[in-house]
Amino acid sequence: MSDAMNIKKRIFDYTPQPIIRPVQAVLVLLAAASLIFGLLYALSNFQVFIPHQNLPHIPLLLGISLICAIVLFIDPEQRLKFPFFIQRQLIDPKLAHDLRYLSLRSSDAVIVGHRRIREHWWQRPQQQLQLKLHDAQQAQWFSCALHQVFNTRHFSRLHVRATDELIGQAVMIHYLAKSRHIVQIASAANDDNFEYIQRYVDAPYAQYIRLHRIPTRLMQDLNQIESIQAFRKDDESGFHLDITTLHGNRYDVLSSAKRFDLLEQVLSPLIDFVAYRQFKQNLKLRQQLISATQLLRYRRLWPYLLYGIVLLVAFQLHWLAGIVALCVICYLYRTVHQQNDPPFIVESVK
């Protein structure tokens, strides 16, 4: 798949697309439920997996069909989300144009304000940031789901709470030109101060890490790290960590960075401390692989194996359990598939 297609898919997956035509959306949902009902009814008549004596009543099949349709198209951020060829008929025309033609722009900016608005009563409140772009004379409002633009919305633990602490922060953004939806945002600061990682250390097992500042790309990418290599340069007293992620992003961190010890604590589950100690104590070592991530290369495969086992067991128990398991797996597959997408848009996009 080309870079443009990857970017378009990522933007469609992670950009909030509030529906402005709710009646049409409900009709689409009912049409999908009708198709599922027809399929289940046909399968029941042919006794594909439902014994004749266990044929369900029509109301039960209708209920199952509606639940399946809801599970397939439910979205935690905007209630319903359909395939793009349908979704573009239900959302704001400017946003549909941006998504269809990939009207993407990038810029550095400074945050000067924030607010939450709700354009229609059936929509969730939308977060907006007021940004002063480097090439603009006046600040403009941009839509930005702060808990959704970092990596993937289902797996990332980073949630940024919009407070006045954001005001004045320099950021780098990618946004859709006409609708002004931010699809990627990161702090413009260098990785030379890790005081913000204190929240990771304070709550290592928390479901979400709630921040009051936009994190750097490194912090957004912490859950994607694949390997860590330490090395020294002849003209420096300290050492560097060369951090590589599953998607090929690389970060060079100097050991003299402020609160480097906090970064070490966060990376501790991935570090082979025997190798790391040897590298620190033996100054003659110029380079050392210090990561212990042999199992990380297989972590993309285990969800699919688990889903297959659950589906097989469910169908063995009861056909209804199998249908429910299939719907849940379809929803979870979508999230796992999104997790495999590169978390950042390439810098060459303008």
Residues 6 or more apart in contact with residue 63 via CB below 8 angstroms? none
Inform me whether the pLDDT recorded for 350 exceeds 50: no
With tokens 């990376």, the residue in question is: 267
Span 248-261, pLDDT tens digits: 889 999 998 998 99
DSSP-based three-state secondary structure for 10: helix
Backbone angles phi, psi at 113, to 5 degrees: -175, 170
Per-domain boundaries in the chain: 19-90, 95-188, 216-298, 300-342
CATH class of 95-188: mainly beta
Residue 268 CB partners (closer than 8 Å, separation 6+): none
- pLDDT tens digits, residue range 270-325? 888 889 999 999 888 889 988 875 545 555 555 666 667 776 777 677 666 777 77
pTM above 0.85?
A: no
